[in-house]
Amino acid sequence: DLIEAMELCRMVMFPGYFGPSEVDDENVRYHVGAKLDRVARIMREQIRRGLCFLCDGLDPVNCEECESRASRLAGVFLTRFPEVRRLLATDVMAAYEGDPAAGSPDETILCYPGVLAITNHRIAHELYRLEVPVLPRMISEHAHSITGIDIHPGAQIGEKFFIDHGTGVVIGETAVIGNGVRIYQGVTLGAKSFPLDENGNPIKGMPRHPIVEDNVTIYSGATILGRITLGKGTVVGGNVWVTRSTPPSSRLAQAPVRQESFAEGGGI
């Protein structure tokens, strides 16, 4: 049911691209309304199950509270859709404008793994903000299994976000990403170390992932670790390892490649 809900959400976010092909200006409101009604029913039940999972479903009183809370959370979740749709529209245009191989915005909606991943993320993030258990991670992992892009639902991502190619991208729970950020395949926004509690276990929820400011570009294979800040307009070259903050408009790259000739015994 959760996968069905995600497909319905995709139809709502991009009417006419997924689901019935006969959507037009005259029936789009009906189309979207019908899909939203079904999403509301599914999500109410899925949220209820998630809440009951935490209380083991053993206490009838708590389960009644779970049902009431699930209805409220599902309603609030649906009110977030207009903003999610607005953000996704900026992501689609970022993909189209940022990739010379993109023939049209339609192509990015239908074909680009980064658009699929950010669609799931923006939906999962709203559930995460509402403190809905389990479901946000399930939605993120569904996109991960399809695209190879692993975005924790807790990550905060601004508008005009573009992941090109995408395979191997990892974005951690407490990462904060500004507007107009572009990243390529194999990029990691991860944690360098974990603060530990008195029992030696990692303290959950502590800020430990990078802050990426507006208009930063991170090329393939780069690894950005720890609660550091990449300043506005920074460009991080491929396969660079970054563990310190950078000022705005920085350029980070590997040392120049060393070239030697082995022709006629050279280099021996």
Total residue length of the chain: 268
CATH superfamily for domain 1-148: serine acetyltransferase, domain 1 (1.10.3130.10)
Q: Is pLDDT above 80 for 55?
A: no
Average per-residue pLDDT for the chain: 93
Over residues 164-218, the pLDDT tens digits come to: 999 999 999 999 999 999 999 999 999 998 888 899 998 888 999 999 999 999 9
What is the pLDDT, as a whole number, of residue 147? 98
CATH code for residues 168-255: 2.160.10.10
Q: How far is CA 230 from CA 207, 250, 251, 263, in A?
A: 15, 8, 10, 43
Sequence ranges of the domains in the chain = 1-148, 168-255
What pTM value is reported for the model?
A: 0.91
For the chain, what percent of residues have pLDDT higher than 70? Answer: 95
Buried b (16+ CB within 10 A) or exposed e, 189-201: bbbeeeeeeeeee
Same fold, 1-148 and 168-255: no
Distance, in Å, from the CA atom of 203 to the CA atom of 190, rounded to the nearest integer, reads 16
Over residues 231-253, the pLDDT tens digits come to: 999 999 999 999 999 999 999 99
Helices (H), the chain: 2-13, 28-54, 60-79, 81-98, 105-111, 113-129, 135-147
